[in-house]
Amino acid sequence: MLTLKLTALMGCLLVAGCAGPMDRIWDDPIYRDNRERFQRADVETARLDTRGEFNAVPRTLQGLDQLTVNDAIRVAIGNSPGLRRAGYEVDIAAGRVIQAGLYPNPAFAFEAEAIGAEAGSNGDTTYLLEQEIVLGGKVGKAKGVAEADRLAAQAEFVAEEFAVAARVSRAYFAAVTARERLESRRQLIELADRLLNAATAQVDAGAATEPDQLRAEVVREQAQIEFESAQLQFEAAKRSLGSAMGIEESVDLALSNSAQQLPTLPDEKAILEAALEANGRVKLAELAIERARRAHSLAQAQAIPNVVASIGPRYSDLDNEWTIDAGLGIEIPLFDRNQGDILATRAGRLSSAAALHEVQLDLIAEISDAWAAYQAARVAVSRYDERVLPKAERTLDLTRQAYERGKADYLRLLDAQQVVIESRIAFVDALQRLHEAAASLRELAQTEAPWRDSSTGQINGEVQ
């Protein structure tokens, strides 16, 4: 009977000691959908090289006839080692949540007295089962601290996704504007050819001198040099885009987004409100405050000592009888009442609150700068497109006609051509600045995510 009772007692203690939250439940749908995509990709494409190291086969451009900016972002998300690392950091934090929620294991002790005594009788033999009983809710509070770390890791994962998207968006529109510059240089070669033909005709007709023709030939050669340079820059931009997407080769697909498809963003106030609510740095700062609060609560609970309970049978060889030993032990918090950690965690709460305010001020400044750049670029694009370029091209056309009739000298013609060249290049530069500023504002706001698969039910970063 005694043996059965001891067996039951040991079983109860073991069950209590090993109980814990072994399941994984992600409460963030954005993290869950992206992380599951990575896990599927890792399982399907992972391989071991000769050294036994893990490698994932990069996602390529196969099956795509053309490349949109959102296609490029999706490929980059599938290949990003930084995003994979951030995902596994969440798994690490999740493991620590499980570990923090586990109860202390019971301990079994065996004691025997006077083994091998010559008198023929031994002393007492004791079988003791000990269990530490955690008081003050320390297990739950430690798990709460670890849970805050897990939520912070998830926030870092989502922030990394937006960082990847912004990086690819900048590289994509750098390639698009490089293509636009190349096209402008090609058009300028055609223009230089027409000017050269006009100068040659004027020289042949005796209305111009040979230096005019030589100048036209120099301008044509300069246009060819600039065109070849633009070709090299376009190829370099496509290689940079491939690198940003996580592929080794240059991107040779047609880039279907045009730089002149202007981005549409809400006003500065709406972007600022979105950033102060959804930006990853704000989320991390808010989670740091919550973690500090939980850490302070845990430090206060750790001042409460735990109880150690023990129970087990004792056999006395002298008396030839079995008895039960039971005991309770508790630490006396006379000197160490965890007062140092309590003080430190209280200061941590104040520090994390100040850090949140600092992050908010930094975001306000960054959004102000990015918005100013965005507005300046948008105004420049609009004015070049609606005013400067039409006037410059009309001026060149009229000057060329006047030159052909002998009513304008060649210097005026060259000056008009130079204005057109500078205006076209400045227009493309303004377009690139506009898209770069828009990418920065989207990264700061972290609310729009059109690259996400619509099957996840997420539109503009919101779960539908």
User: In this predicted model, what pLDDT tens digit does every residue of 123-171 receive, in sequence order?
Assistant: 788 999 999 999 999 999 999 999 999 999 999 999 999 999 999 999 9
- What pLDDT, on a 0 to 100 scale, did the predictor assign at position 115? 67
Q: What is the pLDDT of residue 452?
A: 81
Q: Give pLDDT < 50 ranges for the chain.
A: 1-28, 30, 41-57, 454-464
Judging by DSSP bridges, how do beta strands 124-133 and 107-112 pair with one another?
Answer: antiparallel
pTM of structure:
0.76
* Predicted local confidence at residue 272, as pLDDT: 94
Residue 150 confidence (pLDDT): 94
Phi–psi pair at 329, nearest 5 degrees: -130, 140
Supply 213's token pair: 């023709």
Q: Report the pLDDT value the prediction gives residue 152, as an integer from 0 to 100.
A: 94
pLDDT at 37 (0 to 100): 54
